[in-house]
Amino acid sequence: MSRDALEVIRTRRAVRAMTSEPVRREQLEQILDAAAHAPNAGNRRLQRLVVIDDDATLRVLRMVSPGMLQRPAAAVVICIDVARAVEYGLPARSSGLFIDVGTAAQTMMLAAHALGLGSGPVTSFSRAAVSTVLNLPARWSPEMVVCLGHAATTQPSPVGPHRRSTWRDLTYWGRLGSDATTAAGS
C-alpha cells in the first residue's frame, strides 16, 4: 500500500456540514468507479447505486432521513437487489449482503476524500419512503446513503468521544480468555 493511500485512510472524516457547491459529474463517476472495485462476496455485485444530484430530490430525501444532518450536493443510495440475492441462494437478510454495502460505502468515502470532497454515511432513514421517493423496483432494498459534497469550513462537534481510538485500543492478540477486558496496549 502506498503512503498516499494510508494518508487518505488516516485523514478521512465524516463530514456533517457541506457547502452548496455542486459536485462535478466527473467526480461522481470516479467515486462510482471506485465502488465497482470494492471487495464483494463471490463477486456477485448485488448492490445497486442510485445517484441523486438534483436539489429537489435531495430535499425530499432529507425529509425522510433523520440521520442526514448535512445538506449534500449529491448522494448515493446503496441498495441490495434482494431478489437477485435469493436467486443466488442467499437468505434475503444475509449478513454478507450488508458487509458488501459497507465495503462499497467505505470505498466511495475514501475515493471522495482522495478527490478533495467530503462524505458522510447515513443509515437513519425510512426505507419505504426512500423507495417511494426514488421509485425503486420492489426487489431493491435501500440500505445506506452516502452524502457527498464540499466540506464546510466549520464542522459540528463530534457526537462520540473526542479522542480517536488507536489500533491498540481495538486489538487483542491471539485466543481470548474469559476476561477480555485488556487490549494490546494494556
pLDDT tens-digit map of 134-149:
999 999 999 999 999 9
Helix (H) or strand (E) holding 26: helix 25-36
Coil, strand or helix: which one is 49?
Answer: strand
Is the Cβ–Cβ distance between 103 and 153 less than 8 Å?
Answer: no
Q: What is the pLDDT of residue 77?
A: 98
Q: How far apart are CA 145 and CA 34, in angstroms?
A: 16
Q: How far apart are CA 162 and CA 103, in angstroms?
A: 25
The residue-averaged pLDDT of 129-136 equals: 97
Q: Which of 141, 134, 109, 88 is nearest to 11 (CA)?
A: 109
Share above pLDDT 70 across residues of the chain, in percent, rounded to a whole number: 92
The residue-averaged pLDDT of 32-56 equals: 93
Q: How far apart are CA 110 and CA 34, in angstroms?
A: 9
CATH of span 3-155: 3.40.109.10
pTM comes to 0.87
